[in-house]
Amino acid sequence: MSVKLPEPIQRYTTEHDEPLRQGPYRSALRDERLAAILGASLGILFSICFVTGLYSHVHQHPLSWLPIPARPAGLYRFTQSLHVVAGIASMPVLVAKLWVVWPRFVAFPVAKRASQVVERIGLFPLVAGGIFMTFSGIANIAQWYPWRFSFTASHYWMAWVTMGAIVSHVGSKWFITRRALKRPSRRPALAAADPVLRTTAEGPGEGLSRRGLLTTVAAASGLLTLTTIGQTIRPLRHLGLLAPRDPTVGPQGFPVNRGAANAGVVDLANSPAYRLEISGRVARPMSLTLDQLRALPAHDTVLPIACVEGWSYSAPWSGVRVRDLLDMAGAEPDRTILLESLEPQGAYRTSTLNSGQADDRDTLLATHLDGEPLALDHGFPCRLIAPNRPGVLQTKWVTKVVVL
């Protein structure tokens, strides 16, 4: 009786390992284990970006059945910083991973089995998606828009495409990856005895070792992180050589994205005709002058502005609680509200607050920053400041509060 033994692992390994080092691509670095380590790292970084990105998306496109809570106050600042940090750190890993597996893309014949055809077609959204997500994200935080299409929409939809491709790629590579990660790394003596590896300039001993490449990639990621994280971690701002922002530079010592002149609100904000109106579903609509607004009971809080671009700062604010204004105007307890700024146009001229956000004790229409009246660029005469909220929704130059 003959028993069919399972195929020796070694053969299977070779079948998958060899195409990485064919023809001109003989570097010992193009191997399964390195591809697996880099791939797993990328998978983790991209997943962090995906989850934090979705969280940011629901803030900006609220779902009625999933109201975002106002607490913890610093949560969005944390998740969005993490989003941008993970995106930046993934750059060197992506480049290295593409380099290692490059021979696979140009391998011939294209496929031996039908499943490989599917797999290779699936590489397109994977590679194109990974490159697009990283590139568009980096360009956005640098405020460089070399394209005509909407950044938020394309970054959002491509995230689903890329993540879908990652999930199916992980599925198809699960066993190979696990095996490659478990396998002890190739001993140098063995590799040195390999005639192919020995004859290439990139072989062990002469070029970069596998460990060396991983260390280089990790160092590059670490360096990029260290030189950009200063845009959100204040004590590290002097290291922020590549950071688009210094969190201490700007009017009143805090940065500004869109100033009053760009927004076209200078005259309206300075005009004595300025009013803060509370209207919509209220018993007593109100129209307050700036003096009347400033005469209302003020409340102090320390809250962050956390821009979607990954820079942030925490500051002491003072102003009127939104819930006090709503109560004065006689709004119903369960209230969604819309804020409108003086800006004549633009994507950020309005924002909404759900009931929980509007009623938080720290949700203010701030008139003061750091003990001084708000600078025009920070939203004078008054701006929204609320806990756990993307910067883009902290509406400046507020003139209308509408209860929906």
Contact residues toward Mo ion (CB under 5 A) are 257, 307, 391-392
Is position 231 an interface residue for ligand MTE (rule: CB under 6 A)?
no
Which tokens is 394 given?
């902290």
For residues 227 and 213, is the Cβ–Cβ distance under 8 A? no
Answer for which of 254, 274, 317, 380 binds ligand MTE (CB under 6 A) is 254
Answer for which of 391, 399, 401, 403 binds ligand MTE (CB under 6 A) is 391
**Given the complex with ligand MTE, which of 21 and 245 has the nearer CB atom?**
245
Measured CA to CA, the distance from residue 243 to residue 266 in angstroms comes to 29
Footprint of ligand MTE on 62-121 (CB under 6 A): none
Cβ at position 256, least distance to ligand MTE in Å: 4
Closest residue by Cα to residue 107 from 94, 119, 96: 119
For residues 308 and 80, is the Cβ–Cβ distance under 8 A? yes
Is position 317 an interface residue for ligand MTE (rule: CB under 6 A)?
no
Which residue of the chain is nearest ligand MTE when measured via CB? 391
Is position 385 an interface residue for ligand MTE (rule: CB under 6 A)?
no
Cβ at position 96, least distance to Mo ion in Å: 31
Is position 59 an interface residue for ligand MTE (rule: CB under 6 A)?
no
Cβ at position 170, least distance to Mo ion in Å: 33
DSSP states of 343-387 as a string?
-SS-TTSEEEE-HHHHT-TT-EEEEEETTEEPPGGGTTT-EEE-S
Residues in the chain: 404
Answer for which of 394, 399, 400, 403 binds ligand MTE (CB under 6 A) is 394
Answer for which of 395, 400, 401, 403 binds ligand MTE (CB under 6 A) is 395
Cβ at position 379, least distance to ligand MTE in Å: 6
Provide the CB-side half-sphere exposure for 64 (13 A, CA): 2
For residues 135 and 151, is the Cβ–Cβ distance under 8 A? no
Footprint of ligand MTE on 256-295 (CB under 6 A): 256-258, 263
Answer for which of 392, 399, 400, 401 binds ligand MTE (CB under 6 A) is 392
Footprint of ligand MTE on 336-365 (CB under 6 A): 341, 343, 348-349
Mapped onto helix, strand or coil, the DSSP state of residue 229 is: helix
Mapped onto helix, strand or coil, the DSSP state of residue 306 is: strand
Cβ at position 386, least distance to ligand MTE in Å: 12
Measured CA to CA, the distance from residue 130 to residue 87 in angstroms comes to 10
CA dist list (Å): 117 to 105, 111, 120, 121, 123: 12, 6, 5, 6, 10
**Given the complex with ligand MTE, which of 117 and 249 has the nearer CB atom?**
249
Measured CA to CA, the distance from residue 109 to residue 355 in angstroms comes to 60
Answer for which of 49, 278, 293, 307 binds ligand MTE (CB under 6 A) is 307
Cβ at position 397, least distance to ligand MTE in Å: 5
Is position 378 an interface residue for ligand MTE (rule: CB under 6 A)?
yes
Cβ at position 306, least distance to Mo ion in Å: 8
| CB neighbour list of residue 352: distance below 8 Å, 6 or more residues apart | 62, 336, 337, 338, 339, 404
Q: Which residues bind ligand MTE (CB under 6 A)?
A: 254-258, 263, 305, 307, 341, 343, 348-349, 378-379, 391-392, 394-397
